Amino acid sequence: MITYRQLFIFLLFFKGLFAGEVSAQIYRPSAAIEERVLSLLDDMTLEEKIGQLTLYTTDWGATGPTIREGYKNDIRSGACGNLFNSHTVGFVRELQRIAVEETRLKIPLLFGFDVIHGYKTIFPIPLGEAASWDLAAIEKSARVGATEASAAGLNWTFAPMVDISRDPRWGRVMEGAGEDTYLGCRIAEARVRGIQGPKIGNTDAMLACVKHYAAYGAPLAGRDYNTVDMSERFFREYYLPPYEAAVRAGAATVMTSFNDYDGVPATGNKYLMTDILRKEWGFRGFVVTDYTSINEMVNHGVIANEKEAGELALNAGVDMDMQGAVYQRFLAQSVREGKVSEILVDEAVRRVLRLKFELGLFENPYKFCDETREKTELLSAPHRTAAREVSRKSIVLLKNEKNVLPLKKTAKIALVGPLADNKTELIGNWNGAGNSNDCISVLEGLRAQTKAEVLFESGCEFFVAKNGGLEAARALAQQADVVVAVVGEQAMMSGEAAARADISLPAVQEDMVLELIKTGKPVIVILMNGRPLALPKIAENAAAILETWWLGTEAGNAIADVVYGDYNPSGKLPMTFPRSVGQVPVFYNERNTGRPYDPNSKWTSRYIDSPNSPQWPFGFGLSYTTFGYTEPKPDKAVFKKGETLQIAVTVSNTGSVDGEEVVQLYVRDLVGSVTRPVKELKGFQKVLLRAGESKKLTFKLNEHDLSFFRRDMTFGVEPGEYEIMVGGNSGDLKRVKVRMTE
């Protein structure tokens, strides 16, 4: 008995025989997506299937070592079904037209791009946004990025990057959410929500791509692309959770990382790509490699040649080959040789087609090519306003001696430093289609908000002295009430392939600041950097320090808002700032060791030439006001395993100006079947408190919050004593003990 489906496919095939082609709109638009995917899959040749598993960059941007010529012909022949680094409505429309008019099956293309912290309106780098601890603000930033990028033809972004990292030598810390797993999970979820919006298929929604799976942020020596070597316990406890959080938040795609895990490169690691991602987490989207990471498995030394690398990747569960042309060149042969089952190829193709159907590309391949949206959305006033908001929230006040900040708008400022009037660096690395000319510099931002004089002299270059610069800066300082020095890295000193063995401020800049401090004028240092820096002398001698990361298009306005107190800084460090690179890795949730630091004993875990403590700890950030905390009050001193524990704390604004405080909750499991961190972040609430106002906050800790990978690697709790800690940073906490019973 012939089924409807078989009949339909026969008719389809029959029609195709004559027409020699099928239109993109067929495949039963009213049917369920799965049926439509199957109908299309049945039409496809093996080569056309492999084309859907192939992703090439156009010549519009190099985000890796190779660029292929002839990608338009690859589209025409069906050898390439997906592109990245091509955007604007005009260019996307041109390329999509080739796919849906000049190919046999007319399957629309995906268009991917690295929209990491904004498309045209550039927001703070992700590490900076993480410092806001404001999940709504972070989601908003991702939402604006997706709104603008989708207005420029794009439907897929290679974000969020959720790699946990405790090593500021690694340049890509700028792209992530810092060192903490809990904060990293919450931010990963917020970014996925922002990117994908309420529904995939909306014209302002993009496919998210959680990366770089997995543990890319833990390269030995902080050197990009280097080996990652850690126990499974460590991996599952600290590095894996944010990928899971993003997947469970609905991330449509996942990107493999360049590194190996447990000796097998992620791009060929079946344990990661199938056992954990699909079997444990139920992920149904597709996995794309990082840039030529299949090919690079030959360098890793786990496979003899690229053809076998392709077989290893596909069999591990990797669906799409970014830029490697390995699937295109070898996969058909591998299938014919039986090295790869066509069933696996079909599964991979189904995952890709499913998302193309979900996006609505078959009904309208040009749905993201709306010139009107492109004209109205990009750099719109609301988007610039949002960027200024998020930027202000991302600024961290690290020091403020004698409350030198905020400045009065009558203060005469000597503004110095190579970044003081700079625009080109403000959009940071991975800056999408941002144009630094759209940025507001610090000089512009300050001058826009005051009638007092803002005198400017760069004083030095980034890495070398400027002829007469220091003298000119000194002279300016003498004429002013206060010196504001804007110093830091260049944007490309962080990001991919930008590891630093020395994480100090460029010497010429530090020397200039220290020279200006000798004038006796208060010196306010504004830092711009993509990673924690080691700057002990600045920390000791500057009157005030603002950490501003790379704030993007509205940088100058946001910084001026904080300098003049129109916004009271509320940021908290998402990553520890070491005193020196010699302390790295230094992070807050360390374990106690058998010889915990004792200042009075040589024979403890310590240095002979440095304190153990960092310059500024995780979660640290000052305000123009002060906050007071009561002791944390648990709703029960003894609670049963499985019960939820509630902790109340009252926070007061004990100063004279309104301010926001990030109230942080930490937990310590005092005795475990394995060594446990001395504290772990398990909750936070960012609250606005008017001057003199107090608020009672409640936190809840459930069984999952207190669970960990026990001695036998099962995930769960262990009854016993816990310390509950609350405060405004990980180094200054009030504590209470509670006991969990069976």
Residues at the contact surface with ligand GLC, assessed by CB under 6 A: 63-64, 114, 158, 211, 290-291, 496
Write down the least CB distance from residue 464 to ligand GLC, Å. Answer: 31
Are 720 and 740 in contact, with CB atoms under 8 Å apart? yes
224 noted as active-site residue: no
Say how many C-beta atoms besides its own lie within 10 A of residue 23's C-beta: 12
Q: Where are the beta strands (DSSP E) in 566-658?
A: 627-629, 633-634, 638-640, 645-653
**Which ranges constitute the DSSP H helices of 197-319?**
232-234, 241-248, 270, 296-300, 306-316
Which one, 181 or 429, has the nearer CB to ligand GLC? Answer: 429
Which one, 56 or 158, has the nearer CB to ligand GLC? Answer: 158
Residue 345's contacts (CB-CB under 8 Å, 6 or more residues apart) are 46, 49, 50, 53, 314, 331, 335
One-letter amino acid for residue 305 of the chain: N
Q: Where are the beta strands (DSSP E) in 203-282?
A: 209-213, 253-256, 260-261, 264-265
Write down the least CB distance from residue 324 to ligand GLC, Å. Answer: 12
- Chain centre to alpha carbon of residue 146: 15
CA distance 53 to 329: 12
Write down the least CB distance from residue 187 to ligand GLC, Å. Answer: 17
Write down the least CB distance from residue 65 to ligand GLC, Å. Answer: 9
One-letter amino acid for residue 198 of the chain: P
CA distance 509 to 502: 15
End-to-end CA distance of the chain: 61
Write down the least CB distance from residue 200 to ligand GLC, Å. Answer: 19
CA distance 348 to 110: 15
Which one, 114 or 377, has the nearer CB to ligand GLC? Answer: 114
Which one, 226 or 380, has the nearer CB to ligand GLC? Answer: 226
Which of 252, 250, 243, 249 lies closest to 207 in space, CA to CA? 252
One-letter amino acid for residue 323 of the chain: Q
Which one, 293 or 568, has the nearer CB to ligand GLC? Answer: 293
Which one, 181 or 267, has the nearer CB to ligand GLC? Answer: 267
Write down the least CB distance from residue 78 to ligand GLC, Å. Answer: 23
Write down the least CB distance from residue 114 to ligand GLC, Å. Answer: 5
Three-state helix/strand/coil letters over 30-56: CCCHHHHHHHHHHHCCHHHHHHHCEEE
Q: Which residue is nearest to ligand GLC (CB)?
A: 63
Which one, 211 or 423, has the nearer CB to ligand GLC? Answer: 211
Among 290, 321, 561, 669, the one annotated catalytic:
290
Residues serving a catalytic function are: 290
